[in-house]
Structure formats: structure tokens, C-alpha cells
Structure 1
């Protein structure tokens, strides 16, 4: 329930007034339709009786006919306005939802979870956002319209006989809401089954397309295809069960509608026999009862999709909750980085990645963190970047730019890949950054220059060009604290030496924290931190014998 409340709170904050206006217009359209049907029936019946009685000269046909025209026009324009307002409000909410989700996935640890299972989580995100659309359009709006229909029916029929109005109101609530509640409860496990089957089918299909060669060589291709067939059969079974439930719900509403009309026919017939209601009013009551259950039937689709919406809310809501505010004292610090007794434990790992680490890096220092693979170097950089939360201890860090081991490039133009670092940078700034990174000559050689399209993962650039492009982005980002995680790994010697020379030249007064196991990278630093099993075992500065010894111990590549 808390997850649904979180989603609804976002709806209200984003487009609360438009959502209320859309629901009001939807109820108005339903009421206009019921009033149109009832007034038309009353008018036709009253006109016929007046003609039979020879009283046409005293029967006012202008007022009812004008009311019918007004209701018809109001219903038409109201329906148009309702669709425009509700869909505009829904699109605004979904846009805000996507923005909040992107921010939520940028929180510490979230991006790492996304990288581990990108296809599954991204599929969930797109599918879940679509599912949340029905919370308003197919549940809340029809619910408001159905309540309005029940109240109008109770008011009109209560004017004829209060017992009739009360009975119809409670019957509509019982039959309309009761059916919707039963359908919602039965659809929920089916929706969960369908969602799991669809995820497994999608993941299996992606594995088949991406790894069919490996599967064939391992002799697992037939087995994998058989597994996909089983997932597809489970998905088809869940779809069939939901369709059957939808059909049964339709029958239930149809039977309730026929029962409502039959009961109303008997009731007004009895009242007319007792001369307690006139025939035109009886026709009005009958037609109002006929139209009263129709808005409840519109809840059927929302009830079928309620399980899917509930699952989406449960997945999405945790990423929408506002993170705890960070006190100003944790943002403002004299040092570039200050750690005090920090311990970091990764999920699924028995040993901590960092054990009681205490460290101060002053502004402007160039520090290299060295150690064997798994010593905790990347963990320390992730902690400084805010991508990890410490389990214990105290962390202060200035805003920084992190050049990770992976060069993240996207299927877009070279210009837009650069502008990830500075969305407002003009072409002159982009060229200056490329020149500083030593890539401007290559880019000028491309036929489309900055508009050169890159494939997925930067396809079209060599490894050295990709790394230089990442360096250009680093230079575009205006921060005074650089985090460099093995910046020349997998580059040839000449390219690596050039990249390190450019980093050293442009670092200037910036603070640099560099994780490395290579001598050519650590040589940039004025201070070496030696990590072993998550602990700082040495902290030496340039000019000391220990610094030279630690530097010589690193791999020369």
C-alpha cells in the first residue's frame, strides 16, 4: 500500500489539478450521458401520452428538447475535453516519473545494480512505467465516474421513492465495486505470473540472439530453444487465464445490468400500479437504471491490469522516495577528501572491501593508490565519487569527475557524446577539448566531423580514440577534483604515454586521486597510498626513499 501511496503522491505533486479536472470531466460526461438517456425516454413517453390524451397544445416540448440538445452537445465536448485533459496530465506524470527514476538509479549502489542486470532492469523500467499509466486512466478516472453515476441514480430515483433510490445505490456499489474487487484479487497472481514469464522469455530470447554461436558450440542450442518454448507456453497460459477472467467479468457486469433493469421494471411497475409514479417518470427511472451500471463496467479493464500496476508500483516506488538529506557539513570540506574509520562491505562478499580506512587528501594534491587487484582501489574511488555508501565511518568529499576503467560511449553523434560532460558547450569548446586530448586531428579527418555517428559502445573508434574522447569529456567537466581509475589500461605504450602527459599537463592545480598498478601512471603522483586487503599499509611522499621503492615495485608497461 505504501508503494501505491508513493506513486499517487507523485501524481498529485506533478499534475494534481489537471488530474482532478480530468476525473471531474469524466464524471460529468457519464452524468450527461445518463441524463440524456433518461430525459430522452421521459420526453418520448410524455409526448406520446400527451398526444394520446389530446393535450399536445398544453405540453411544452421546447424545454425538454432544448435540454436534450444541450446534454448531447455537452457530452460530446465534455468527452473531447476529458480525453485531452486526462491524457495530457498522464503524459506529464509519466515524464516526471521517468526523470525521478533516472535520478533514483543515479543514487549510490543503484547504477552498479543496473550494470549487473541491464536488460532485465531496463525492460522492467519501460514496462512498469507503461503499467502505471492505468492507475489513473483505467482505475481512478472510471472509479470517480462510477461514483458520480451511483450518486446521480440515487438522487433521481430517490426523488421518485426514497427506498428505490437507496436500494439502487447500495446495489450499484455492491455489484459494481464488488465485481471489480473480485476481479482485481483474482487478476493479481495471474499478472505476476505473466510478468515473470515475459521477463524470462525476453531474457532467453536475447541470450539466444547474442550467444547462439556459443550455445551451438556447447551443444545447448536445442535445449535453450526448448526452454524458450516452455517460457512462451507459460506466458500464453497466463494470457489465456487473464482473458477468461476478463470474459467472466464482462458476463458478471452484463448479468448485473440485466438484473438491475429487471428489478427496476418490477419496482416502477408496482409503483405505477399504486399510482405513486407517472408513466413518464417510470420510463425515466428505467433508463437511468439501465445506464447506471455502465460506468462500473469500465472498471473491468483497470481491475484486470491492477495486478500489473501493483507489481510496477512495488518495483518503481523505492527509486522514487526522496533520499535522506545530506547535512551541509558533509558537503563543505577544506580537504578534497576526508575519510575517518571508513568500512565498506559489498553485497555477497564475506570480507570487507575497506577496513577502517582513515585518509586526508588536501586540495591540489596528486595521490596514487596502488596495490594488487582486489585490494580496494576502485572501491575507494567509488566511495569518493559518492557511488558507494560506507557501512561505518565518516566521509567528506568535494564534487569530482570520475574517469572509470570503462569508456562509456553511446550510439549517438560524437558531438552529443562529448556534451554529456557539458550540455551547454559550444563547438569551439568541444574542439578545444578534443585538441587538448589529442583527438582533434582524427575528428577533422572524419567526413562528418563532430556529427560523426558512433555505434553502440563507441563502435567506429579505436580503443585509443575512445580513451582520448573520454579524456576530452574529463577536460570539459569543470570540477577541481579528478578521480582516475587506471586511465591508460589496455592502451599501447605510445598512446598511454601521450594520454598521461596530457593528463599531467591539464591537471594543473586540480586534486587528482589515481588508482593504478602501473608505474607510468603512478609517476604522476606526489604521494603514494599502498592498499592491501582493504587497508592502507603505507602512505609515502615524493622525495622519500620509500616513495622510490614503492614506485619501482609497480609493473612497468
Structure 2
């Protein structure tokens, strides 16, 4: 485990370079330019003020002193620093936000892969934390570590060059001191803050997860008498988070004092050095002021590393969590050769769910022709829904081969979101016009209900589709199914929990619009299986019978299903 940790940052840095390389280089260059302009502005101003004061002591000196070039240089540096700072902020933040957006898209695509939905349902709070806090923590890598480090190196180099022109030993000493002290203090702060930052990140994750569990499950917790215990556990987690915050604040304050002391030592040592140069080598007062102010400004960019160093532990943890997902390149699953007339072909497919004993599907070989209507029946747990998930690509076969046409899956649960009816429909076709939406609603038997609403398609639903009845929600799901326009339908108990009249109407509409399409239907109900021309009987993950309409076995199996 520890051997892999040094490489955790590699895929994150690769993503930064791939999605924001040029903009990030430009941002680092602008940041360095702003720092150098600030140092030059301060040094030139000190030199100019000192030289002007000395020139004013005599009339001849004042007459021969050129005030225009230094004053123009100061104005130019001030304007350049101001506009440079604005451009640097725009470029660096645009580059960073672009990379983080690409990272979120990459993670979303990863969680859209087979079996990812199951993991998302098992740990929604943790994965939400990855998409929010973990990704946000990665901005410190560029904005608060790489950019300040590059700018600080440029400041050390400029300071060394300016003082080196006065005396090479002084320039080399300042350059070495700035790198050793400035970067060394940042490394010490990062090392000291790493464990604290990790504790804080984990405590914050537990606090958010606990708060979500408390809000979502407060009724159940109250019924079993655990509401108080959950609140107490949340209070303890919040206290741990507060202690971690306090420790980080103390480290930040300590690092700030360290840099302040280092700055005073730098200025004092430079003052003594230029004083000695003035005494023994005739260094002028304006040059001495220039050297002193350059040394004073040179340590400022290193202090900007302080915050990034304190947050380095959090960024490292985020990279460690997200890095493995970024290493896994999106790969297409090669499908076996099949016939153009096949809608679904399985060859010895076996599926094993994580954490469960035995196979959910065992050595399934199946072929469904395009245009067939097939119903899968069997007891609960026989593998019907897993078969549909395998056809939809939501699970991956551990062995065997799978070939399936693009399909639309109508699951047992209608997934509706806290949004408008229009946007809930457009999940099936984001580019659909309002006319197409009304056509789909009309085909699903929901047009009259929606037109009766005051806001029509703009009517907003509550969480989980609150505001629609069960039958209306199912019809809305049917409208989405029709709007999608796929030639292969996967239906998982489409009329379960609906009243008889609504169920009959939904089934009639499904049967009417399924003409020419392939239908694979998982069901316990006779009314649903009756629309099929072929029955697959499943038991313990195996297909034990394949029955065709018109045979006695088909009618017998159909008769064993419950009516309602």
C-alpha cells in the first residue's frame, strides 16, 4: 500500500497537464512576472527616493539628476503589476476550474460504467464527497503550491541577481538562503500539517455522512429510540472536526510567525552586508536601499506557500482517493460476433454480485431475435433483474460473452427529480422540442393531466417526483421510454403496484408502441407476461425452460403467474 502512494499524484498531475497545460504555464508565468514587477517596483522606488534626497542636497546634483526615467519606470511597473495581477487571476483560475470540470466529467463517466450504479447506491455520501470536497481540494496543488513555488523561485533568482551585481557572494548567499529557508519552512509546515489535515478531512466526511443519515433516517431512528445516540455521535464528530481546525489554525499561525522572523533576519543580514559594502567598497546609499528593499520583497512569495503547505495533506488525500480512478482508462468492451438479426446474445455468461455467495446468473446462453417479445418469469431472487441489468450493460459478466443492441431500461422504480416536468422528460432526449414532449405524453396517456396543471410542462416536481400519483409517475416513465426511441426495451415489472385499470391502460400502450421493437420483460404477473410470445423460466440463476406461445407448456407456465 505504501509503495503505491508516491504515484498517487501522477494521474492527477497528468490530468492537469492534459486539460490545462498551456493556460497553466501562462498563469505561472504571469504570476512570476507580477512578483518580479512588485520587487522591481519596491526596489526602484527605494532607490529613487534615496537618490532624489541625496541629489537635493546640492543644487548641482539636483540639476543633473534625471527624475523622468525612474518615475516613468515606477509608473510602468505599478500599472504592469496591477494589470498583470488581474490577468494572472483570470488565467490561473480559469485553467484550474477547467481542469476540475474535466475531472468531474471523468468521474461521472466512470460512475456510469457497469456496476458503478450499485456502488453509488451503497455509498452515496462518500462518492458525493469525492465529487465536491475532494475535487475542490485539488485546486491547491496548482493555485497554492505550484504557482507560488515557481513565483518564489523567480523572486529568489531576481534577488540573487540584483545583489550579485553588487557583490557575487552577497547574491549567492541571498539566493541560497531564500531557497533553503523559504522552501524548508513550507516543507516543515506541510509535514506537520499532513496528519492534522487528514484527520480534518476524514472528520468532515464523517460529519456530512452522519448529518445526511440523521436527516434522511430521523423517523426510523426515533422509532427505535436511537435518535439521541445519533445526535450525540454527530456532536462528537463535530468536536473532532473543531479540534482539527484549531490545530490547523495554530500551524498556520506558527508558519506565519516563522516567515515573519525569517523576513526580519533576512533584512537585518542584508542591512549589515550592504553596510559593510558601503564602508569597504564604496557602495552608494541608493544602491544600498535598492538591495535592502529587494531582499525584503524576495521572501514575500515564499510566505504565499504557507497556505498551500498547510493544505497539502488534504490535497494528497484527495489525490490518493481519486488517482486510481484516473489511472483506469475508459475501455470499450469488445462484443463477440453476432448476427444482424440478434437483439441479445449471451454465451456462457456468469454474473457474481460483490459480497454475495454464489452466482446471480450461472452459465447463461441465450439468443433473442430482433422484434421478439420475451418475458422472464420465476421466483424472487431467481435472477430476472440481473439478466436485464446484464443486457443493459449495468453489470459485467465475470465469464462468458455478451452482445446486446442499445436499449432503454424501464426499472421497477421510477426515477424522478426535483425539477420541471419538461426537464424530467428531457432526460430521455435533451434535444427534444416541446411538441415532441407533448407527443410522448399523449402516447403515454398523460397529456390531459399535464395540460390541466397551471404551469404545464414548467410544473416543478418535488423530490422523488412529489406532486404526481403513482400512476402518473409510471406514465411519465413510459413517456420517457417512448421519447428515447430505442428499438430494444427492457421492462422490469412495469405495472407493479398500479391499480387494475391503470395497469391495463399502461400495458395496452406498451403493447401498441412496442410494435417492431424487441421487448425483454421481467415479471411476476400474468397480465404483463401475456404480451410476450416467449417465456423464459428462471430458477437460481439458470434458465430452466424456454417456452413459445402456442405450446401447452407456455399456457401452463402463464397460468402459474398471479393475476394482480
Deviation at residue 331 of structure 1 after TM alignment:
9.0
Distance 2:494 2:438 in 1: 21
Is 1:524 paired with 2:527? Answer: no
Is 1:11 paired with 2:27? Answer: no
Distance 1:493 1:317 in 2: 52
Counterparts in 2 of 1:396-407, with a 5 A limit? 396-407=403-414
Distance 1:184 1:98 in 2: 27
Deviations along 1:309-346, one digit per CA (max 9) or x if unpaired, are: 22222333344456443266559863211111211111
Question: Which residue in the other structure is 2:29 paired with?
Answer: 24
Question: Which residue in the other structure is 1:50 paired with?
Answer: 55
The answer on whether the counterparts of 2:110 and 2:330 sit within 8 Å (CA) in structure 1 is: no
Question: Which residue in the other structure is 1:223 paired with?
Answer: 229
Distance 1:249 1:115 in 2: 42
Question: Secondary structure, in 3 states, of the residue corresponding to 2:536?
Answer: strand
Distance 2:282 2:210 in 1: 69
Closer/same/farther in 2, CA of residues 485 and 217 from structure 1, 3 Å limit = closer
Number of paired residues? Answer: 557
Counterparts in 2 of 1:153-302, with a 5 A limit? 153-275=159-281, 277-302=283-308
Question: Which residue in the other structure is 1:41 paired with?
Answer: 46
Distance 1:64 1:332 in 2: 80
Deviation at residue 246 of structure 1 after TM alignment:
0.6
Task: Judge which range, 176-185 or 315-324, deviates more.
Answer: 315-324
Distance 1:421 1:317 in 2: 32
Deviation at residue 425 of structure 1 after TM alignment:
1.1
The answer on whether the counterparts of 2:536 and 2:547 sit within 8 Å (CA) in structure 1 is: yes
RMSD: 1.9
Is 1:409 paired with 2:416? Answer: yes
Is 1:381 paired with 2:384? Answer: no
The answer on whether the counterparts of 1:413 and 1:453 sit within 8 Å (CA) in structure 2 is: yes
The answer on whether the counterparts of 1:401 and 1:474 sit within 8 Å (CA) in structure 2 is: yes
Is 1:97 paired with 2:97? Answer: no
Is 1:71 paired with 2:40? Answer: no
Question: Which residue in the other structure is 2:3 paired with?
Answer: none
The answer on whether the counterparts of 2:335 and 2:402 sit within 8 Å (CA) in structure 1 is: no
The answer on whether the counterparts of 2:140 and 2:308 sit within 8 Å (CA) in structure 1 is: yes
Counterparts in 2 of 1:545-556, with a 5 A limit? 545-556=552-563
Closer/same/farther in 2, CA of residues 496 and 321 from structure 1, 3 Å limit = farther
Task: Judge which range, 119-128 or 357-366, deviates more.
Answer: 119-128
Is 1:543 paired with 2:550? Answer: yes
Deviation at residue 25 of structure 1 after TM alignment:
1.0
Task: Judge which range, 137-146 or 394-403, deviates more.
Answer: 137-146
Distance 1:113 1:9 in 2: 26
Is 1:136 paired with 2:167? Answer: no
Return the TM-score normalized by structure 2: 0.94
Question: Secondary structure, in 3 states, of the residue corresponding to 1:360?
Answer: strand
The answer on whether the counterparts of 1:404 and 1:486 sit within 8 Å (CA) in structure 2 is: yes
The answer on whether the counterparts of 2:335 and 2:401 sit within 8 Å (CA) in structure 1 is: no
Deviation at residue 129 of structure 1 after TM alignment:
2.5
Question: Secondary structure, in 3 states, of the residue corresponding to 2:311?
Answer: helix
Unmatched segments (≥5 aa) in structure 2: 1-5
Q: Structure 2 residue aligned with 1:422, among 425, 429, 442?
A: 429
Task: Judge which range, 322-331 or 108-117, deviates more.
Answer: 322-331
Question: Secondary structure, in 3 states, of the residue corresponding to 1:357?
Answer: strand
Distance 1:321 1:381 in 2: 30
Return the TM-score normalized by structure 1: 0.96
Task: Judge which range, 543-552 or 432-441, deviates more.
Answer: 543-552
